[in-house]
Amino acid sequence: MKSILTGAVTALGLMLASAGMAQTLKLKPASPQPSSVKPGLSVKYAWGGRPPAAINNLKMARKLLQKEAEPGQPLKGLDYRDTDKGDPVMTYKQHYNVAADIRGYIRFDAPGVYELETWSNDGIDARVSGQQIGFVRGRQPCEANQRVTVEVPKAGWYDLSILYYQKYGTSCLMMKWGKQGEKMKWVPNGAFGR
């Protein structure tokens, strides 16, 4: 009985220690604040070619974009739900083996502590004011990545950059947010600008 109690106390201590290590990321507003912002996000695409060629990880996606990125039709925001197999990836013409470099801003209307959560199929490296808010190196189905807590010091625009790739099958790229302790909601397209 004593060893069970000791084990339970140890497990509880480890859980509390790891919860304490999840730090709040401090964001910095874009400086200077943009004076005129268009709706949506800028995107550049690169295509990895027909199978058996494949983009297998973020490193390959980054390298491909450095060699042959081309501007794409701006994204309306980050509301690209899971597609059917064969549908285009976001605003690009191809439906597989696509790398995307996404840039712009996200607007927070009030200061405070927020939770952010990206969803992707496949890999993603998402950052707000340089702080990593979403990361998946390899492949995954359309699902949530890690949830992070951020401190927003004041209302305004914050730099947003996302490296994303989709290999085969379906694709998705989405984002949720909410003030800490409140229900998470999908980020509306109007919160993004370029």
Residue 5, pLDDT > 80, answer no
**For 12-46, how does the pLDDT look when each residue is reduced to its tens digit (9 = 90+)?**
443 433 444 479 999 999 999 999 999 999 999 99
The DSSP call for residue 49 is -
- The upper half-sphere exposure of residue 62, i.e. CA atoms within 13 Å in the direction of its Cβ, equals 11
**For 110-161, how does the pLDDT look when each residue is reduced to its tens digit (9 = 90+)?**
999 999 999 999 999 999 999 999 999 989 999 999 999 999 999 999 999 9
Q: Are 20 and 121 in contact (CB under 8 A)?
A: no
Which domains does the chain carry? 23-193 (2.60.120.1560)
Alpha-carbon distances, residue 105 vs 20, 52, 128, 180, 186 (angstroms): 30, 36, 8, 21, 16
Residue closest to 96 by CA, chosen among 43, 45, 47 = 47
User: Bridge-partner residues for 43, per DSSP?
Assistant: 102
Extract the tokens encoding 67: 């060699």
Model pTM?
0.87
Which residues are CB-contacts of 46 (< 8 A; sequence separation ≥ 6)?
Answer: 61, 64, 65, 67, 68, 69, 70, 98, 99
Distance (Å, rounded) from C-alpha 160 to C-alpha 122?
19
Mean pLDDT of the chain: 90
Distance (Å, rounded) from C-alpha 51 to C-alpha 41?
29
The DSSP call for residue 74 is P
Extract the tokens encoding 56: 């297998």
